Amino acid sequence: MTTIAWDGKTLAADRCSWSGGARRRVRKVFKVRAADGRMFLVAFAGSGTFALAVLAWMRGGTRPDPLAFLKPDELGNQCALVIDEQRRVWQLGSDLFYSQMRERVYAFGGGQDFAWGALEGGADARRAVEIAMKRSDYAGLGVDTVRFK
């Protein structure tokens, strides 16, 4: 259960990872420099181990095999939201294929309905995730943000 929000400048995500009834503090948002020098922002949802493998791949490592981490029925899920230097919004599927979204602001994850409403109402990304934390079970333990300079 994750809430991710992009307001056109800042990418934000909650810090909570759930395992049964236990909650753990994690980081889901990163500023990444690819091997070719390009910079982008990324926020992950879903399997934490798969997210770390994808993050290593984005930084120039080996492309992970999604089936080593995920069940076949999870391959259609979105695993990350990626923002490029031109502020374009991309969904990264757990099959590791990108789809460009034609949105200025964006929300993703279990708490996306709360975050979308907050963004559309004028909240910034951090506040949108905070609202999702306050009003739902789909975000928790604080907010991390990243942005381009």
pLDDT tens-place string over residues 123-138: 999 999 999 999 999 9
Name the residue ranges covered by the structural domains of the chain: 3-141
Residues in the chain: 149
Element (H, E) at 134: helix 125-135
For domain 3-141, give the CATH number. Answer: 3.60.20.10
Cβ-defined contacts of 57-64 (< 8 Å, 24+): 57/96, 58/32, 58/34, 59/32, 59/33, 59/34, 59/35, 60/34, 60/35, 63/96, 64/96
Using CA atoms, how far residue 31 sits from 12, 77, 113, in Å, is: 11, 22, 25
pLDDT tens-place string over residues 8-57: 999 999 999 988 889 999 999 999 999 899 999 999 999 999 999 999 99
Average pLDDT, stretch 66-82? 90
